């Protein structure tokens, strides 16, 4: 409890900018947790997923493969689903729809990352503003007290100055690390999406079609099979 009281006392001595930094810190923490959970849910084992889809397609069960894609979260499954829906199209048409699905899915991965980056950039500026305000308070104390200013009259402004800049740096450093971590997760998912899209297209255009008619031995089209 004494340590907790000391921390609260130091926080209060930091001045009004400490409350701004606290609000930014809480916002950044919520954004980080939300993005971490979202990206964790969207990142799957792409190699195992594509292998499973290929095994299903090898049995000519394309509707089952589509169902698996619909039940699997993340952009990898969405891109594979787009390829499967156009399995009987030309290579250019299939590539267009795969890229279209990627364009729709990928921006969602980067959502709110800019906000975390903004917090990392703004936090030191807020701390610097607190420092300036603290120094202004110190010089005001000098002016009021004349040549015999007491340390107690000056300490308040100095506490504001030092704690504000320290608080800004203490917020900016983990915010930068959080943005770097999340950006790395996004890049990993983007690589998985690119690999999965190319892999499923290559399989559909070569092995799947080479094993027999795309529409199966009965001549039923994919659209008719889905219906």
CA distances from 153 to 9, 22, 140, 163 (A): 17, 26, 10, 17
**Count of beta carbons in the 10 Å neighbourhood of residue 170:** 15
CA proximity to 214, closest of 86, 66, 111: 86
* DSSP 8-state class, residue 220: -
For the record, the structure tokens of 94 come out as 């299939």
Averaged pLDDT score across all residues of the chain: 80
Residue 144 confidence (pLDDT) above 90: no
27 within 8 A of 119, measured Cβ to Cβ: yes
Between these two residues, 82 and 155, which has the higher pLDDT value? 82
What is the structure's pLDDT at 40? 86
Euclidean distance between CA atoms 197 and 95, whole angstroms: 8
Mean pLDDT, rounded, for 152-168: 76
Q: Read off the pTM.
A: 0.76
Q: How far apart are CA 167 and CA 17, in angstroms?
A: 9
Query: So what's the pLDDT on residue 119?
Result: 94
Rounded to 5°, the CA angle 146-17-36 comes to: 160
**Which of 80-89, 137-146, 171-180 has the highest mean predicted lDDT (pLDDT)?**
171-180
Distances (CA, A) of 43 to 67, 124, 185: 18, 33, 8
The pLDDT of residue 77 is above 70: yes
């Amino acid at each position: 409890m004494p340590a907790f009281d000391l921390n609260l006392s130091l926080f209060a001595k930091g001045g009004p900018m400490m409350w701004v930094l606290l609000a930014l810190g809480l916002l950044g923490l919520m954004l980080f947790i939300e993005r971490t959970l979202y990206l964790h849910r969207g990142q799957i084992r792409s190699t195992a997923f594509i292998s499973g889809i290929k095994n299903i397609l090898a049995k000519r069960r394309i509707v089952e493969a589509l169902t698996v894609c619909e039940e699997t979260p993340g952009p990898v499954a969405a891109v594979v689903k787009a390829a499967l829906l156009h399995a009987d199209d030309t290579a250019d048409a299939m590539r267009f729809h795969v890229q279209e699905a990627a364009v729709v899915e990928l921006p969602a991965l980067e959502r709110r990352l800019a906000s975390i980056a903004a917090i990392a950039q703004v936090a030191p500026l807020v701390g610097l503003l607190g420092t300036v305000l603290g120094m202004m308070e110190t010089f005001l104390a000098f002016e009021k007290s004349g040549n015999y200013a007491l340390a107690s009259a000056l300490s308040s402004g100095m506490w504001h100055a030092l704690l504000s800049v320290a608080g800004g740096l203490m917020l900016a450093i983990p915010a930068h690390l959080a943005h770097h971590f999340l950006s790395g997760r996004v890049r990993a998912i983007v690589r998985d999406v690119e690999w999965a899209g190319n892999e499923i297209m290559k399989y559909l255009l070569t092995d799947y079609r080479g094993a027999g008619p795309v529409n199966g031995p009965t001549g039923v089209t994919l659209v008719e099979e889905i219906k």
